[in-house]
Amino acid sequence: MDTSARPRPRRRRLPKPKPRGYGRGSISIQDGAYVATYKSLETGRGARRSFASEQEAHVFLDQWYAEKQRRKLWTERGGMHAGWMIPAPVQAPALVPSPVRRRPPAPARVTFGELIDGWRAFKLGTVRATTWRNYEPSLRALAYYLGDRRADELTETHFIKYRQAREKGLDWVAKTQIPPLKPITINQHLDRANAIFEWATASSPPLAAENPVARLVKRGNKLKAEEFEPV
């Protein structure tokens, strides 16, 4: 049968995205998707990311802009120690004034969800599409269960409880029973959390004081994967 005359399916025409303010990134339509264009906070170079909907693109750029403003504020008030200076006590003119003591800058007060988004943006362009398809389920799950918590308040216990809940098939957010995950999949989730905290603690300025997942991903502390013998 000759199918050469069949018309090609037309690509759905997407509505024109709403414009964004100056410095807040932009959204365009390319290849049937909404593409967010912005400057990487790590390299300062232009970066792009595709989304299925305009709303997702706006949410991503809003989070990116919030992190951009937070880092700017950090630089102005904390990064240069201007906000951490303790005034020297008043001395008589004949005395030598005491040296000004400075507190070390504390880690930023960000949520774990913001760390996940920051790490995703940092890795954008360096990870293959097939690898992202493997990463995304774990990133979405971590954001769903722990994303609203302050990063500096998360402890190893939080991730142990996360591991136990996913192994038993418990959704403590919706308070429902869900299909449990295999140990090897749960280990992959914690590997992603470990990579995120390693990036956050090594950032300048640091976005997290410590890595609460470091011990759980070491050999001997992971969940044991099921072994099947051939029949």
Copy the structure tokens of residue 171: 């959704």
Distance from the Cα of residue 74 to its chain's centroid: 18
What average pLDDT does the structure give for the chain?
80
pLDDT at residue 8, as a whole number: 59
φ and ψ of 30, to 5 deg = -140, 130
What is the C-alpha to C-alpha distance for residues 200 and 195, in angstroms, rounded to an integer? 9
The residues that bridge with 170 in the sheet, in sequence order, are 177
**DSSP code per residue over the chain:** ---TTSPPPPPPPPPPPPP--TTS-EEEEETTEEEEEEE-TTT-SEEEEEESSHHHHHHHHHHHHHHHHHHHHHIIIIITSGGGBPPPPP--TTSPPPPPPBPPPPPP--BHHHHHHHHHHHHTTTS-HHHHHHHHHHHHHHHHHHTTSBGGG--HHHHHHHHHHHHHTEETTTTEE-PPPPHHHHHHHHHHHHHHHHHHHHSSS-S-S--TTTTTTSTTTSPPPP-----
Q: What is the mean pLDDT of residues 97-126?
A: 71
Place 11 in a pLDDT band, splitting at 50, 70 and 90: low
Place 62 in a pLDDT band, splitting at 50, 70 and 90: confident
Among the residue ranges 65-69, 119-123, 208-212, the one predicted with the least confidence is: 65-69
Whether 105 shows a pLDDT value over 60: the answer reads no
Burial 172-202, CB ≥16 within 10 A → b, else e: eeeeeeeeebebebbbbbbbbbbbbbbbbee
